[in-house]
Amino acid sequence: MRDNLGRFLQDAAWNDHRYLILKNGRELGGLVSARELHLLENAKSRSMEFKALQIAEEMMRWRIIREGLEKHRRESEVGE
């Protein structure tokens, strides 16, 4: 691999080839073009933003439920 690293880098950059780097049969990393790396980073960022939106929506639903329960409790205390 070390002797041919330049060839692999050029192949990844110009031909969009991907390489999986192994050591003793275990996956260590990969080699992709810079363009593909940026696409992967953007996809991860969008995924994290979507997850944050989902969490915010869930928190909003729980807040609405909690406020409804508190209102019901206050109204039932007044009626006693």
**Residues 8-38: tens digit of each pLDDT:** 989 888 998 999 999 999 999 999 999 999 9
Q: Is residue 39 part of a domain?
A: no
On whether the CB atoms of residues 29 and 21 are closer than 8 A, the answer is: yes
Q: Is residue 56 part of a domain?
A: yes
Q: Is residue 38 part of a domain?
A: no
Tokens found for residue 50: 């979507």
Q: Is residue 4 part of a domain?
A: yes
Number of domains in the chain: 2
27 shares a domain with 1 = yes
Expressed as residue numbers, the domain containing 28 is 1-32
Look at residue 80 and give its three-state secondary structure.
coil
Structure letter (DSSP) for residue 79: T
51 shares a domain with 24 = no
Q: Is residue 55 part of a domain?
A: yes
| Integer Cα distance of 36 and 42 in angstroms | 10
Q: For the whole model, what pTM was predicted?
A: 0.53
Q: Is residue 37 part of a domain?
A: no
